[in-house]
Amino acid sequence: MGNRIGLQTWRGAQSWGYDGLNRGQSLTDIQGGRYTWSYDLHGRLQEVDYANRVIFTVTYSAGGGPAQGRYASAADPQVDHFSATFVPFVSFVDRCFAPHPAGSAGTSEHPPTSA
């Protein structure tokens, strides 16, 4: 079974893109918003660019686990910041891949809406 590349619903269409290693690379939502994911040389999630121009960047510890995540936008270079000594990677990635609800104030799981 392959990757989903499109979905048509009564609300609109969504489409997904993948890189050469079969990792999620982009999502276009039903409102035309584009989300992209990029990875470092070790295949770990490095950056998520949200449709509202908020960028989430991940840095890793020497042991390879996620050490820090940072949300930033052009309007506010540090809209949110968190550090963790240990975050299970699967849970961490799941949180990063979830698009935030429109108009949300933002949490560690979803970026805030930029002004």
Tell me, yes or no, whether 103 lies in a domain: no
Tell me, yes or no, whether 112 lies in a domain: no
Calpha distance 107→58 (Å, rounded): 16
Range with lowest mean pLDDT among 8-12, 63-67, 88-92 = 88-92
Written as one letter, the residue type at 99 is P
Tell me, yes or no, whether 48 lies in a domain: yes
Tell me, yes or no, whether 115 lies in a domain: no
| Residue range(s) defining the domain that contains residue 47 | 6-97
Tell me, yes or no, whether 106 lies in a domain: no
Give every CB contact of residue 25 below 8 A, 6+ residues apart in sequence. Answer: 17, 18, 19, 36, 37, 38
pTM of the model: 0.64
- The tens digit of pLDDT for each residue in 53-89 reads 888 888 888 888 888 888 887 777 666 555 544 444 4
> What total of structural domains would you count in the chain?
1
Tell me, yes or no, whether 57 lies in a domain: yes
CATH number at residue 58: 2.40.128
Tell me, yes or no, whether 62 lies in a domain: yes
**pLDDT bracket for residue 43 (50, 70, 90):** very high
Tell me, yes or no, whether 114 lies in a domain: no
